[in-house]
Structure 1
Amino acid sequence: MRTKLYLLALSGVFFLGSAFVTLTDQPFTLEQLRQLYSQPTSQWPKPDVDPDIKNFQELGVRPDPKFPKDNPYSEKKAELGKFLFFDPRLSVSGQIACASCHEPQLGWGDGKQVSLGHDRQPGKRNAMTLLNVWNNEHLFWDGRANSLEHQMRFPVQDRVEMNHELTQMEKNLNKIKGYQVLFKEVFGKERFTIQEIAQALTTFERTIVSRKSRFDRFLEGKKNELTDLEIKGLHLFRTKARCINCHNGPLFTDNQFHNVGLTYYGRKYEDLGRYHVTKRAEDVGKFRTPSLRDVVYTAPYFHNGLFPTLDGTLNMYNMGMPNLQPTTAAQKADTLFPKTSSHLKPLGLSEDEKQAVIAFLGAISSVQQRINQPELPQ
C-alpha cells in the first residue's frame, strides 16, 4: 500500500473515489504514464474535455456490430449482400460497384481526393471509410441519411456516381437467375424489391468492422502491446492534443457535426456541409466526425480529401485550424459566415509530441483487410 501511494505521489495524482485528480502540471515520465495507463480506464488521468461536450465516452475496446430489429443478421443475407456490394450491375454503366469507392485494401475508401463516378465524373467529397459503419447515427459527411438502408439509395441514383434509377436497377437485378435463387433462400421469394436489396446489402456492410488493434489488446490486459512512444501519444491524445473532445468512445467518434475551419467560404472548394441538409445557419461548414480506427489506411483526410498525410493533418490541428473572423461590414452581416468550432485552438505540440500522437494512431489501426471479389451470380 505504501509503495502504491508513493507511485501515485510521484505521478502527481491521487484517487478520489474511482477517478484521478491532477495535482500538478508537471509532465509525467514514461514510466509513470505506463503505470497509469496500465490501470482500468476509470482510473486513467482526467482527460482534457471541454464542459459543453455532449455524450462524452472514454476510449474502450472495439465493440461488436449491432444489427437493427427490422433487419436482423443472418449469414446467408450477409453473403447475398457481399455479392451486391461487389456487383457493378447496380450502376447504369455496369462498371461501378460499391467496392469501386470502398476498396477493402484501401481502408474501405478509395485513396483518392474525391471518387470518380459515372463517365469518370469527379465527386465533391472524399469517400468515407465503411469500417464500423454500423455505429453511425447519420450517414455521409453531411448526415443526410439516417440509416444504412436509407443511405444506399443515394449513390445508386446520383447522376455523378452510379446514375441508375432505383426501379430500373431493381428490374435489371430481377432478370439475373442467380439472384432469384439467392433472394428466395434469404427472403422466401424470387421476385425481390429495392427494400430486400437494401436489407441484404446493408447487412453485409454492417459486418465491415475493424479488426482488434494493439490498443484493444492493451486494454484487455496485454500491457506490452503499446510502446512507450504510443503510450505517450495516448496521453497526449486525451490531454494536450485535445483529440478526445470529438474522437472519443470505443470507436473514436462522437457521431456529431463540427466546423473544423475548412468551409472555403466564397472560394474554390466551398462546401457548406451540414447546412445543405438542415438549412440552419449554425450548421454551415459542419461535417460528421469520422472514426479514427484504422486511420493510417484511410488517407486522404477531411471531407475534401485535400490533406494526404497524417503529419500534415496534425500540423493543421496544432495550429488551431483556420479560424477566419468577419472583418468587413458585409461579412459581419452575413448570417452564413462560417464559425470554426470553439473546441479547436492552437495546441503547442512539439515535433516529438506530434510524432507520439501519430504513433498512437498507428496503435489503433489494425492489420489491413484483404477480401477477394466473389464470383457474381449469373
Structure 2
Amino acid sequence: MPPYIMSLALTLCAFAALKAQAFSPDDYRQPAAQWPAAELHKQAGPVAELAPLPELPPVDWHTPAIETLGQQLFFDPRLSGSGQIACASCHDPDLGWADGRRVAFGHDRQAGARNSMSILNAAWFDHLFWDGRATGLVEQALLPITNPIEMNANLDQVLTRLNQIPGYRQAFTNAFGPGPADAVRLAKALAAFERRIVSRPNRLDRFIQGQYNVLNDQEIFGLHLYRTKAGCLNCHNGPLYSDGKFHHTGLSYYGRKYEDTGREQATGQIEDRGKFRTPSLRDLSHTAPWMHNGFFPSLRGILNMYNAGMIGDSQLHPDLPQLSPLIRPLHLSNHELDALEAFLNTLSRRPLALRAPKLPPKQININDNDSHH
C-alpha cells in the first residue's frame, strides 16, 4: 500500500474513533440507565451510579420526642467543660453544617488538626470522621464532648449537670421513659437529631428525575467528564457522591509540619497511613474550605491537583504506602476543567435554615439570689 494511502487510512480510522467517542448532551437527557457507559478503574470495586438520596435508613430507637431533645442538646453549650461550646459551634446550620474554617477552634481557642466535616447526610455513612474512627452516629455522638481539644468535658459531670436541670429531666423522661439522663440516652438523642440533617434535592437530582432543562450543555459535558475521563465516579459515586472508603491521595504531609497519618490513627495499620475518608460532594459549595486539613479554599485548585495526578508516587516519603491506584494524571484541558467545575456547582443547594431552639433554663436556687437579706 502506498504511504499516502496508508496515511489516509490511519487518519480516517482516527477520525472514526474520535467520532465514536463524540459527546452529545442528548446522551444524558434520558434515564440514567441509558447514559453512556462510565469509564471506571479496575480497582475501584463496585461503583453505584449517581442518584438522588434514598429514604432515611430506619432505626427502632428514633422517635420525634428523642429527636426534639437531641436538637436542644446539639445547640446547648452546657455539654462542654467550659459551658461555652456546643455541637453547633463546629456544625453550624448557616455554614453548611460545618464551620467555614480551615480547622475548628475548640476549648480555650485551641485549634484542631482537621477541618470540621459537615454532618449533612451522616446517617448513611458506615464510618464517621476523616479517619473513620466511629461506626455510626450513636458511637460518634459523645466523642467530641470528651475530646480535650474540642469540648473538653467530663461525661459524668455533663450528665450530672443535665439531670440537675428540671426541663431536661422532664425531656429525657418524655423521650425515653422514667430514669435519668445517661450516656446511652444522651448519645441516642444527639444521633436522632443529627441523622435528620439531610441535603435538599439539587439540580442534578432534578435532572436525573427527568427535568432535563435544569442543566445546560456545559454542565452536562462536566457530568460526562465526571463519569469518564476525569474519573471522579471511581470514588465520588452513588447518592452521597462518596464511596465511604479510605484513600491515600498524598496530602498527609508526612514527615513535615501539619503531618496527619489519617486512617492509621484509627486502625493502627501502617497500610492505612495517609488515608482519609472520601468526603461527600453534596452541597460542597457550602462546605469550603476543603480536604481533611482545610487547606484548599479553591475548587479549581483542587481540580488542578487531581488533573496533575497529585504529587505522584515518586515524591512520596519512603514510609508512606503508594498513592491510591485511582490517582493518575488526567490530562484535562482548560475547557474540560471549566465544564467539570460547572457541573460540580450543580451538586449544591443551600441547606434549610434552622434556628437554635429554646433551651431549658438552669434551676435557680432562691438562696443564691437573696442578696438583700
Question: Which of 29, 44, 50 is the matching residue for 1:38?
Answer: 29
- One-letter amino acid matched to 1:261: G
1:160-175 equivalent positions in 2, closer than 5 A? 160-175=149-164
Equivalent residue number for residue 137 of structure 1: 126
Compute the displacement of 1:360 (Å).
1.2
Q: Distance in 2 between matches of 1:304 and 1:50?
A: 27
Conservation of the 8 A alpha-carbon contact between 1:89 and 1:96: yes
| Among 274, 280, 283, the residue aligned to 2:269 | 280
Cα contact 2:307–2:329 (8 A) shared by 1: yes
2:331 to 348, 351, 367: 348
Structure-2 separation of matches of 1:355 and 1:346: 17
Task: Give the 5 Å matches for 1:1-378.
Answer: 24-26=17-19, 27-29=21-23, 32-33=24-25, 35-69=26-60, 71=61, 73-325=62-314, 336-378=319-361
Distance 1:222 1:337 in 2: 46
CA offset digits 1:289-312 (Å, max 9, x no partner): 011000111111110110011111
- How much identity, in percent, do the aligned residues show? 48
- Matches of 2:335 and 2:198, distance apart in 1: 31
Work out whether residues 76 and 359 of structure 2, in 8 Å CA contact, stay in contact via their aligned partners in 1.
yes
Supply the distance in 2 between the matched residues of 1:308 and 1:377 (Cα, whole angstroms).
38
- Residue type of the alignment partner of 2:113: K
Q: Are the aligned partners of 2:121 and 2:195 in contact in 1 as well (CA < 8 Å)?
A: yes
| Contact 1:181/1:190 (<8 A) preserved | no
Q: Deviations over 1:176-196 (max 9, x none)?
A: 111111111111125121111
Amino acid at match of 2:99: D
1:315 Cα deviation from its structure 2 partner: 1.1
Tell whether the 8 Å contact from 1:210 to 1:366 is kept in structure 2 after alignment. Answer: yes
In our comparison, the structure showing a higher alpha carbon Rg is 2
- Indicate the residue corresponding to 1:18 in structure 2: none
Q: Tell me, which stretches of 5 or more residues in structure 2 are unaligned? A: 1-15, 362-373
8 Å Cα contact 1:67-1:134 kept in structure 2: no
Q: Which moved more, 1:250-259 or 1:351-360?
A: 351-360
3-state DSSP of counterpart to 2:314: coil
User: Residues 289 and 163 (structure 1 numbering): CA distance in 2 closer, same or farther, change over 3 Å?
Assistant: same
Please give the per-residue CA displacement for 1:192-242, whole angstroms capped at 9, x wherever unaligned. 211111111101100000000111111111111111111111111111111
| C-alpha displacement of 1:67 | 3.1
Amino acid at match of 1:199: K
> 1:265, 1:338 within 8 Å by CA — same for their partners in 2?
no
| 1:119 alignment partner AA | D
SS at match of 2:276: strand
Whether the 8 Å CA contact 1:55–1:254 is kept in 2: the answer is: no
* CA offset digits 1:266-288 (Å, max 9, x no partner): 10111111111212221110000
Deviations 1:126-170 (A, max 9, x none): 000101000111111001111211111211111100000111111
Inter-CA distance 87–279: structure 2 relative to 1 (3 Å threshold): same
Deviation (angstroms), 1:42: 1.5
Distance 2:58 2:147 in 1: 27
User: Using the alignment, how far apart are the partners of 1:25 and 1:261 within structure 2?
Assistant: 34
Shift in alpha-carbon separation, 1:176–1:39, aligned structure 2, 3 A: same
TM, length-normalised to structure 2: 0.89
Q: Quote the Cα distance in structure 1 between the aligned partners of 2:165 and 2:284.
A: 38
Distance 2:271 2:72 in 1: 41
The CA RMSD measured in Å over matched residues stands at 1.5
Displacement of 1:326 in angstroms is 6.7
Q: Give yes or no for contact 2:286–2:350 (8 Å, CA) kept in 1.
A: no
Contact persistence 2:30–2:210 (CA under 8 A): no
